[in-house]
Structure 1
Amino acid sequence: MAAPLLLSDLYIYPVKSLGGIRLTEAQIEARGLRHDRRWLLVDEHNRFMTQRQTAAMAHLKVAPAYNGFLLSHQQRPELLPLYVPFTATPEKTLFVTIWDDMVFAWRAKPECDEWLSEALGQPCKLVYMSDMVRRDVEPEYNPEGQLVSFADGYPFLLIGQESLAELNTRLAEPVGMDRFRPNLVVSGGEPFAEDEWEQFQVGEATFRAVRACGRCVLTTINQHTAQKNTAGEPLRTLATYRTQGSKVMFGQNVTGPGQGILRLGDAVHIVSRKK
């Protein structure tokens, strides 16, 4: 008998492309989990920054703090941790570009920009997405009019624990789930079973798995050393059996109910499957 499906891990990433925080309980909001990817680093041209171009961002770790979080550099202890509140104030605003979207954002305090610019060795600014901003999920996959934060395109990313375990059987050096940056990790069932899900419930909250997530070079960056794998793993191995069209797929892009609470250990029930 197959193991029951359970929510086995729950993560938020307060700053896009920086370290995550593992939670035991999370509030669902219109743009995803509360505090997930509401902050963003932008360059001198106000364009979004990620580990794709700046692998050193993997060195910046995030820890929970009262009404906010602490940023620290795992290889530079002389840089004292920086406290960042979960929200910002609209004292200074600017327009920022993320993928094909341009949205207005609120600036962090100057000391945040200074700390991050020093930590990464290049000028950058930290900005916040307020509740007044409307950034939509891809229109062709979004009949419900769902919103998204500074995440790549969807409010949630889900991965099956067994899918990672199966991938690791094919790798010379196993990788952790942090390479793939999910919000929801589900255990039980068969590897890649989530590919078939459409509507599913986690606890009392109903979600929709919209489409598979195309993976990029970020998955090749060791989150402890910020070094790229010279052989292109695990992306290279994934490409041998998880390629659809021109993209390598791992995990599911998911939309949610806009409200509710998730807790580790919540039961997962499949309501409908993709046709």
Structure 2
Amino acid sequence: MKLGSIHFYPVKSTAGHEVAAAEVEPWGLAGDRRYLVVGERGTLLTARDEPRLLACVARLDGDELTLTGPHAPPLRVVPGTVRSEVSVWRTPVELTDCGDAAAEWLSGLVGQRARLKWLDDPARRPVDPAYGRAGDRVSLADGYPLLLTTTASLARLNDWIVETALERGEEPPKPLPMHRFRPNVVIDGAGTPFAEDEWKRLRVGEVEFRVTKGCDRCVLTTIDTATYQKGKEPIRTLARHRRRDGKVWFGINLIPDGRGRIVQGDPVTIL
């Protein structure tokens, strides 16, 4: 097996980037999900509720963030010094406000009052203690530092989606792209679809990871990133083939045991 691709998302729920290499830090890939957007009530705003966030391309040049979108010229973001507490999936986290210019830019994109927040200290947010150790930390990802998927599992899921469509007399859709699932690392050569369900530890290049739990999927995976419209797949088919405990599952969550650099093509070893 090998590392097929690497992805990171500077601002939570915005467009991601595929990169050839990345630095693994205890809380995730360097630069991954250190920013998020809050709505007019100061609560977390994601593409689940506002798909237009996916039209935002956030690029990092060192520590400098630039936002690009279809509605306004690119904006260079300069975080301020004012902090406030934001609930990130029921966990209160102190975040730094990124100023009025970023707020105006994002508000124009999503059509409501919005502000950009920055996690200046990525060691501030703990991982759920039910699945992590006392010192485990996560940036602003949903729950865990990295998400892993495999091309073998996506191929099987796309086959199932075609079967579902044909059984219902529907036109078979185009295969879903992996970016619908917003992984950080994608593994090639796993062979058996969903083999990752049984993995406990793995090594990518020289970096070792613990598997915490599977990833239960939400409506975000149903959003077409070209049209920003919600559909039925893959949730409809996952509910048929990958449903347990009242949820549907695709991918696994990882916690790094150490730091290091991972590179596309690195060998992947199950430990």
Of 87, 99, 109, the residue aligned with 1:109 is 99
Q: Equivalents in 1 of 2:199, 2:124: separation in Å?
A: 28
How far residue 61 of structure 1 moved from its aligned partner, in angstroms, is 2.4
How far residue 25 of structure 1 moved from its aligned partner, in angstroms, is 0.9
Number of residue pairs matched by the alignment: 259
- Residues 1:252 and 2:248 are matched in the alignment: no
- Residues 1:265 and 2:262 are matched in the alignment: no
Contact 1:21 1:64 in 2 (8 A): no
* TM-score, normalising length: structure 2: 0.91
Of 45, 63, 69, the residue aligned with 1:49 is 45
Of 6, 9, 26, the residue aligned with 2:2 is 6
| Alignment partner, residue 30 of structure 1 | 26
Question: Relative to structure 1, is the Cα distance of residues 68 and 176 closer, same or farther in structure 2, using a 3 angstrom cutoff?
Answer: farther
How far residue 193 of structure 1 moved from its aligned partner, in angstroms, is 1.1
Q: Which amino acid aligns with 1:81?
A: P
Q: Which amino acid aligns with 2:180?
A: R
- Residues 1:80 and 2:73 are matched in the alignment: yes
How far residue 223 of structure 1 moved from its aligned partner, in angstroms, is 1.1
| Alignment partner, residue 209 of structure 2 | 207
RMSD over aligned CA atoms reads 1.5
How far residue 169 of structure 1 moved from its aligned partner, in angstroms, is 1.4
Q: Equivalents in 1 of 2:242, 2:75: separation in Å?
A: 39
SS across alignment from 1:130:
coil
* TM-score, normalising length: structure 1: 0.90
Q: Equivalents in 1 of 2:147, 2:42: separation in Å?
A: 26
| Alignment partner, residue 235 of structure 2 | 235
Gaps of 5+ in 2: 162-171
Question: Relative to structure 1, is the Cα distance of residues 116 and 140 closer, same or farther in structure 2, using a 3 angstrom cutoff?
Answer: same
Identity rate of aligned residues, in percent? 40
| Alignment partner, residue 149 of structure 2 | 159
Gaps of 5+ in 1: none
Q: Which amino acid aligns with 1:20?
A: G
